[in-house]
Structure 1
Amino acid sequence: MPTEVVGGRFFCKASGVRLSDFTAVDCEFSGCVARRGEGAPLNLFERIDLERASQMNCSIYEGVFRDVSLRGLKRLGDAPLFLWGCVFERVVLSGRISAAKINGSLLSRSKATTEENQRRREAHDLFVKEFYATSDWALDIAQAEFPGGISFEAIPGDKIKLDPERHVLVTRNALAASNWQALDFDGTALNIGLGRFERSSMFDSIVLAARSDRKWFKRDLAVLARLRDAGIASLA
């Protein structure tokens, strides 16, 4: 049976989480951490609907998000929502998403050897590639606002539904054929995201999003326009 909670507060630390058919409105998630224990399955979140959620010091490691809708996320405190080694399928973000950090990498396990951690990372990278190869789309950010910015190098850009007025798609081939470092990025840090994509992303494309914060919005848009004019970025 689907579960709906209005105005609740959640605190949870667990591994191998299985959460599905869950709706939360005006709820706060405080110190929630979903880890993946040794030998445990990936955390799984399916058919989740969150509206006007807030979070404080929450992290999810190696999670699968499928058929999830998040309409507004408020950060309480200083830390963003950290997502480590997570994958996404038919996830819709809308409204103001105040702080989320999507990391494709995995944190090393302190008790594992270097070789064991390396094998674990390689196995996870293979899983991620195979996951997205069979997914129709990963994220829909067309109606989302990111006041503090967000980076998508951990997700294939061609699997993201975007707003062509505020987002662009950059392919690895277009980046390699250009002198993109010579462009004026006007202190926006969009060049940092491109550099991370070029160095460490396992995918062939990335989506760049303009911040909605008033201080940066016009400057970010101007940089995205320069990337399009230089033939580095496209609208889809």
Structure 2
Amino acid sequence: MTGVNLVDCSEKGCYVEGAMLTDVTVDGLLVEEAMPLKLAGCVFHRVTLRGELGQIMIRPKLHMAYRQSQPSYDAANSAAYAEIDWALDISGARGCAVDVQGIPSRLIRRDPETQAVMTFEQALGGAWREVDLAGTPFGVHAKIILETGAEDMVLAADHSSANFAHQVAKLAELRKLGCVLPD
């Protein structure tokens, strides 16, 4: 999919799998509650997500019915990410948190106040466990990094949450303790 601009759209239970998304902008997306937009095994190249967004889940793994193809997708996606200038811009995303796994964080443009990067080494170091992360998804994200062996992951405060300010404060605390990369 190339050169697509979607403005103030809605979706209900959509699932995009194994696509190459290039020069795509989504500016405002209403998502059916409890049915996030799922993007699995896709490659992102200059994709911008901004405005009010519902829940979006980006995952590196294909649906279980296609798992036999996973090694081919992993190799192709790694090769693609080695060649591109940037993959995903979530710096202007508002609304629900955009949950990103499988895209190297160095290729993600983000808002440093509300989004941070935790590396595998930082998750493994465990200093994040000293921070009371109740009311945030960050402890779960650290565990996902450890369970999957991911190189890193973007932690994003949820703009739609009643405790958004609390989440931003916890990101700042994690940054101060060296649990996420400095910006």
Alpha-carbon distance in 1 for matches of 2:36, 2:81 = 25
Alpha-carbon distance in 2 for matches of 1:77, 1:217 = 19
Q: CA deviation at 1:77?
A: 5.2
User: Which position in structure 2 is the counterpart of 1:141?
Assistant: 90
User: Which 4+ residue blocks in structure 1 deviate beyond 4 angstroms?
Assistant: none
User: Which position in structure 2 is the counterpart of 1:156?
Assistant: 104
2:17 is the alignment partner of 1:61: yes
Q: Which structure has more helix as a fraction of its residues?
A: 2
User: Which position in structure 1 is the counterpart of 2:74?
Assistant: 125
- Percent identity over the alignment? 29
Q: CA deviation at 1:172?
A: 2.2
Give unmatched runs, 5+ long, in structure 2.
none
**1:22-41 alignment to 2 at 5 Å?**
none
Question: Which residue identity is paired with 2:128?
Answer: W
Alpha-carbon distance in 1 for matches of 2:137, 2:43 = 25
Give unmatched runs, 5+ long, in structure 1.
1-44, 111-116
Alpha-carbon distance in 1 for matches of 2:76, 2:118 = 24
Q: Which structure has more strand as a fraction of its residues?
A: 1
SS of residue in 2 equivalent to 1:176: helix
User: Taking structure 2 as the reference length, what is the TM-score of the superposition?
Assistant: 0.91
Structure showing greater radius of gyration is 1
Give 2:118's match in structure 1, choosing from 170, 176, 187: 170
Alpha-carbon distance in 1 for matches of 2:132, 2:145 = 18
8 A contact 2:135–2:167 mirrored in 1: no
SS of residue in 1 equivalent to 2:2: strand
SS of residue in 1 equivalent to 2:92: strand
2:162 is the alignment partner of 1:206: no
Question: Which residue identity is paired with 2:111?
Answer: D
User: Which position in structure 2 is the counterpart of 1:80?
Assistant: 36
Alpha-carbon distance in 2 for matches of 1:63, 1:95 = 23
Q: CA deviation at 1:126?
A: 1.4
Which 10-residue stretch deviates more, 177-186 or 154-163?
Answer: 177-186
Give 1:230's match in structure 2, choosing from 162, 177, 181: 177
Q: CA deviation at 1:76?
A: 3.3
8 A contact 1:158–1:206 mirrored in 2: no
Alpha-carbon distance in 2 for matches of 1:77, 1:160 = 26
How many residues are matched?
183
User: Which position in structure 2 is the counterpart of 1:191?
Assistant: 139
8 A contact 1:186–1:223 mirrored in 2: no
Report 1 or 2 for greater relative contact order, CA contacts < 8 Å, sequence distance ≥ 6: 2
